Amino acid sequence: MLKTMRKNVKALKPTLWIIIATFVIAIFAIWGGAGRLGETNRSNTLATIGKERISSDAYFQTLRQRLEAMKKEYSQLNKAFIQQLNIPQRVLQEMVEQALLLQIAEDMKLGATDPEVRDRIISYPVFQKDGQFIGFKEYKQVLDWNRIPLADFEDGLKKEILIDKVVKLLTAGITVSDEEVWDNYKKQNESAKIEYLVAEKDKIELTDKPDAAAIEAHFEKNKAAYKVPEKRTADYLFFRTDDLKTRVKVDESEIEKYYKDNLSQFQDPEKIKVSRIFLPYTGKDKPQVLAQAADLLKRARAGEDFAELARTFSKDDKAKEGGDWGLTAWTALPAKETDEVAKMDAGKTSDVIETDTGAAILKVAEKTAAITRPLAEVKTTVKNILEDEKARELAADKASRIEKEARGQKSLDMAAQKEGLKVRSTGPLKQADPLEDFDPSGSISQTLFTLKDKEISAPIYTYTGVGIAQLQKTEPERPAKLEEVRNAVEKDILDSRKKEKALEKLTGVLAGLKDDWEDAAQKNGLQIKAVEAHKREQYLSLIGESPEVDNLAFSLPIKEPSRTIEVEGGYAVVRVLDRKLVTKEEFAKARDTERSTLLESQKSKFLQSYMVKARDEKKVKVNYDLYTQMSTEVMNRFSGE
């Protein structure tokens, strides 16, 4: 599941189209009821972007909306997955970049007119029926049904239009040459079936370790490479959320209220399983294809097996699977098809649907209505969420009280003693070092590197609790003494020797290498890998991304072994078994589409680079303690899933 989510979550990256397309997600959180930019007090400020501010409430609501939307697609979404996918940071980054783009639009003196807003409203699919605008009366009713104030919605649309305008202006000068389009087309469509042998240095066994003289000689020769980084030591207190749960109580009324206020969290969405037959057509053969589709529809409704018809006649990616588009994949189909699915009952087969590219016949194999799980079923989950929230509030209160006392006393230790607590020492920590098991992400050590000598931190929020620290000692970076890095030096020597042995081994095998590489690998203790369709810049197991391998994959004579290639883990030999190349004639048919795709990609890269500079110019600042606190509160709602 995680692999699928990681693949799909790429849509959250701040690329050109997503900045525009997802802007509307945050409209109501930022400029609607959850607190407007620039209209919040400083204690509630999560980020500042020039003269604007993002409130913690706005971020909280936006992150929550994003996760609720994701949960509809990924029913198993939970706290661990959210952290691994880094969704909180992605959402905050989007909000910051949206605010930046609006400020840039203001600097450019751009505006959005009423006719532009009207055109945007009319173009929204949700406000259309049969390709026509539903009318302003119905449009207002849709907003009323969704409890969205008309003024807020249209103000949000103005900002969406401004985002669109500023992005177009910033990227207007980006172009791509014919040669760049051709090279990119080849990169995307050419492939090579390759096979490679790898002699891994980690599989090489050495009987002798380097002696003291060798270690000293290597150290002296490479002394500049060995340094002891800056380290900082602090006194600290940490309040674990789990430890404090025994001190909080959650009564039945609180559980019932939370359940009623958050019913959407406990809904299992509607499940629809769809099968499809798809027949592509062009302008010339459209009548014949539609006639064939009508015949297939007749056969399907007469009782012939839909899956077998799809396997035999369908021309899309799911044909081999009997046209099975599963429970979610079908949602990526054209709007005409997904709209039809919404109208169909289980077991029904659609009429022939004409799209821009072909004719489709859909069958709803299963359709299960959305249900809300009863309170009795989720009671334990709700209780855990509330206990966690209360325990975190208790931890935050303790840390805040001690922070105030410590600042008055100018000593965390004295403040802790007054509360009957005892501080602990972090010991020397490098920046981002974890601290025991309660701070694996290194939030506390990161904070230490922002403090002056004897300075007391604000409460430090982590996913497991709240801490507070006072910097006691700073050890600046310095050249390492041999005894401090002896193990590292010894490892470097052994790695170098193993790599030399790996090269000797592979070179010897290469000299007598025959056609059967599998046999050669087995006899010589080598790793062998095969890739059916390797493309340029593609990751390879045991090798990684290698421009050298990419070059060989499209230049080596078929079945001729390459020279030995140095890779991170050792050495490799490659050969090409087959190759799929594209022609200029094929490219000519796809040139316009390829140009558009590459141009969009280049604009996205430029925009990302521009936004990095804009963050510096507008002096973007983020309160990461408050960010962690807010993120944790939202994710705790998914902790029991």
CA–CA dist 472, 427 (Å, integer): 10
In this prediction, residue 12 carries a pLDDT of 37
Residues near 226 by beta carbon (within 8 Å), at least 6 away in sequence: 219, 479, 480, 485, 488, 489
Kindly state the tokens that stand for 494: 């052994």
* Lowest mean pLDDT segment, chosen from 109-118, 481-490, 498-507: 109-118
Question: Could you tell me the pLDDT band of residue 639, with boundaries at 50, 70 and 90?
Answer: low
- 590: which strand partners? none
Candidate ranges 139-148, 447-456, 620-629; pick with highest mean pLDDT = 447-456
Across the range 325-333, mean pLDDT stands at: 83
Across the range 88-110, mean pLDDT stands at: 92
Q: What are the residue ranges spanned by the domains of the chain?
A: 2-173+601-638, 191-225+482-580, 231-244+390-476, 270-369
Candidate ranges 119-133, 264-278, 557-571; pick with highest mean pLDDT = 557-571
Q: At 579, is the secondary structure helix, strand, or coil?
A: strand
Question: Could you tell me the pLDDT band of residue 227, with boundaries at 50, 70 and 90?
Answer: very high
| pLDDT reading at 2 higher than 80 | no
- 54: which strand partners? 47
| pLDDT reading at 105 higher than 90 | yes
| pLDDT reading at 204 higher than 50 | yes
In this prediction, residue 43 carries a pLDDT of 52
CA–CA dist 436, 259 (Å, integer): 35
User: What does the pLDDT look like over 8-30, one tens digit per residue?
Assistant: 433 333 333 333 333 333 333 33
Across the range 602-613, mean pLDDT stands at: 91
- Give the predicted TM-score (pTM) of the model: 0.59
CATH architecture of 270-369: Roll (3.10)
User: What does the pLDDT look like over 404-438, one tens digit per residue?
Assistant: 999 999 999 999 999 999 999 999 999 989 999 88
In this prediction, residue 30 carries a pLDDT of 37
Across the range 625-638, mean pLDDT stands at: 78
Question: Could you tell me the pLDDT band of residue 165, with boundaries at 50, 70 and 90?
Answer: very high
Kindly state the tokens that stand for 305: 């097996």
Burial class of 276 by CB neighbour count within 10 A (0 to 12, 13 to 18, 19+): buried
CA–CA dist 145, 471 (Å, integer): 55
The percent of residues above 90 in pLDDT, for the chain, comes to 62
Domain 231-244+390-476 in CATH 1.25.40.10? The answer is no
**Where is pLDDT greater, at 249 or 356?**
249
User: What does the pLDDT look like over 458-495, one tens digit per residue?
Assistant: 999 888 899 999 999 999 999 999 999 999 999 999 99
| DSSP label of 622 | E
- Is it true that 2-173+601-638 and 231-244+390-476 share their CATH fold? no
In this prediction, residue 166 carries a pLDDT of 94
In this prediction, residue 355 carries a pLDDT of 86
Query: Is residue 156 a contact partner of residue 32, using CB atoms and an 8 Å limit?
Result: yes
CA–CA dist 165, 107 (Å, integer): 13
CA–CA dist 489, 492 (Å, integer): 5
In this prediction, residue 143 carries a pLDDT of 81
CA–CA dist 204, 571 (Å, integer): 12
584-617 vs 150-170: helix axis angle to the nearest 10? Answer: 110
In this prediction, residue 28 carries a pLDDT of 39
| pLDDT reading at 522 higher than 50 | yes
In this prediction, residue 40 carries a pLDDT of 40
CATH C-level class of 2-173+601-638: mainly alpha
Across the range 553-573, mean pLDDT stands at: 94
Q: At 357, is the secondary structure helix, strand, or coil?
A: coil
Mean pLDDT of the chain: 87
* Lowest mean pLDDT segment, chosen from 44-53, 190-199, 325-334: 325-334
| DSSP label of 539 | -
Instruction: Find the radius of gyration of the CA atoms of the chain.
Output: 31
Taking alpha carbons only, the member of 359, 366, 294, 269 closest to residue 324 is 366
Question: Could you tell me the pLDDT band of residue 518, with boundaries at 50, 70 and 90?
Answer: very high
Task: Write down the residue that tokens 């021309």 correspond to.
Answer: 315
CA–CA dist 150, 143 (Å, integer): 7
